[in-house]
């Protein structure tokens, strides 16, 4: 078999995974309204893709304030917990493990989405950044609206957000998830604190790199205290700068973060890597240094081919490879890779975000048996 490491079982701190394929988190905006409640259709979608050794759900807000896009699911109400149980039961019945991604968007939001002014480390609006709603478009498509100027967070705000992440983790375990992933990437709240261009604070959460990683470490410790370190991973994005997030200090900041996460003992670091055509190459030196710094599982996601993933695994730079869009269109993606079979492509881009039917969501075909 060509991709031997990809198909090897993997033990993630005592948790047995059947292969090293990870279904990466992808926002699809299918939750029931009102209330952003996960539903049976979402359970079907995730259950279809349980061929992955590990699934990370779409980003899931820990509070209404943390919501940045319409119809994304939450994990802060009893109805949402009950709704997510449909998914965990379906995925476990199909033989896979599933973590919930905990999310707060910070400044990447608008009052048109949640009725609230966004909050952030500093009152700096993200340039050329939009979020989507579903109001007004005649065909039901998402319509994009600019983000609004955020309010600088007070200590009370920070304390509340830390508690919301911890409670979200507790709620996720109640819903039957195997663990949680803290979203510290892609320009959202935690990432905003990490970066010097979006964090201009002068208190203990701003200025030095040591101060800028403080919110991340406090949230992570609170979540670990609630559900245990073997059930907590974190996503970081050192090489992504969209949403007005370019920061010349980010690589050093991420390495400092990795040292802190090693001390806390989280089960994995999940790298969200740039996936556009002219994206920067991740230096081998960075991967080698991260492996020396962090002793637990490392995951890499970013439009990787199976060959690219196998290369990273063979070099022992990462342990699991995340695949996004290929799992979106191919629920049996590992089997197609094994057989070198033809892949489904996106049938209709209008169905990527939103929609309450199976079309473009759960109707992508499996391989036919001859």
Asked about 188 being catalytic, the answer comes back as: yes
Give the Å distances, CA to CA, from 127 to 130, 181, 238, 241: 9, 27, 19, 12
Dist. CA 352–CA 275, nearest whole Å:
17
Burial group, residue 54, by CB count within 10 angstroms (0-12, 13-18, 19+): buried
- Of 188, 268, 333, 361, catalytic: 188
Burial group, residue 164, by CB count within 10 angstroms (0-12, 13-18, 19+): buried
Other Cβ atoms closer than 10 A to 42: 24
Q: Going by DSSP bridges, is the β-strand pair 15-17/10-12 parallel, antiparallel, or unpaired? A: antiparallel
Rounded (10°) CA dihedral 130, 216, 31, 324:
80
CA 75, 79, 82, 86 torsion-angle sign: negative
DSSP-derived secondary structure for 105-152: -TTS--HHHHSS--EESSS-PPTT-EEEE-SS-TT---EEEE--PPEE
Collapsing DSSP to helix, strand or coil, 22 comes out as: strand
Closest by CA to 206, choosing from 196, 191, 216, is: 196
Contact assessment for residue 360 and residue 348, using Cβ atoms and an 8 Å cutoff: yes
Collapsing DSSP to helix, strand or coil, 343 comes out as: coil
Residues whose CB falls within 8 Å of the CB of residue 317, separated by 6 or more in sequence, listed in order: 284, 287, 288, 290, 291, 298, 300
Which stretch of DSSP H or E encloses residue 218?
Answer: helix 214-227
Strands (E), 208-307: 232-236, 268-272, 297-301
Closest by CA to 359, choosing from 131, 34, 30, 58, is: 30
Dist. CA 243–CA 245, nearest whole Å:
6
Active site residues: 188
């Amino acid at each position: 078999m060509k991709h031997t490491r990809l198909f090897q079982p993997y033990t993630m701190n005592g948790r047995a995974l059947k292969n090293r394929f990870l279904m990466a988190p992808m926002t699809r905006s299918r939750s029931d309204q009102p209330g952003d409640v996960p539903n049976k259709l979402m359970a079907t979608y995730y259950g279809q893709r349980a061929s992955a050794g590990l699934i990370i759900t779409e980003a899931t807000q820990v509070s209404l304030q943390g919501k940045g896009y319409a119809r994304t699911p939450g994990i802060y109400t009893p109805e949402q917990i009950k709704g997510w149980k449909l998914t965990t039961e379906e995925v476990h019945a199909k033989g896979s493990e599933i973590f919930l991604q905990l999310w707060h968007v910070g400044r990447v939001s608008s009052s048109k989405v949640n009725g609230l002014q966004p909050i952030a480390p500093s009152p700096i609006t993200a340039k050329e950044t939009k979020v989507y709603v579903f109001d007004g478009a005649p065909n039901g498509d998402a319509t994009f609206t600019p983000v609004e100027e955020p309010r600088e967070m007070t200590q009370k705000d920070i304390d509340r957000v830390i508690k919301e992440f911890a409670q979200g983790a507790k709620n996720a375990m109640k819903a039957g998830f195997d663990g949680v992933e803290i979203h510290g990437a892609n320009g959202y709240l935690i990432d905003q604190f990490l970066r010097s261009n979006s964090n201009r604070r002068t208190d203990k959460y701003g200025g030095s790199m040591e101060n800028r990683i403080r919110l991340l470490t406090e949230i992570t410790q609170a979540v670990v205290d609630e559900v245990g370190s073997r059930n907590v991973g974190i996503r970081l994005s050192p090489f992504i700068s969209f949403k007005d997030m370019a920061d010349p200090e980010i690589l050093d900041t991420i390495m400092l973060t990795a040292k802190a996460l090693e001390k806390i003992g989280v089960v994995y670091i999940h790298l969200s890597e740039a996936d556009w055509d002219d994206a920067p190459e991740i230096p081998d030196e960075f991967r080698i240094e991260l492996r020396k710094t962090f002793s637990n599982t490392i995951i890499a996601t970013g439009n990787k081919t199976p060959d690219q993933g196998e290369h990273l695994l063979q070099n022992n730079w990462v342990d699991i490879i995340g695949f996004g869009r290929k799992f979106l269109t191919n629920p049996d993606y590992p089997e197609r890779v094994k057989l070198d079979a033809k892949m489904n492509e996106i049938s209709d881009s209008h169905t990527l975000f939103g929609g309450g039917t199976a079309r473009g969501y759960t109707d992508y075909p499996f391989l036919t048996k001859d």
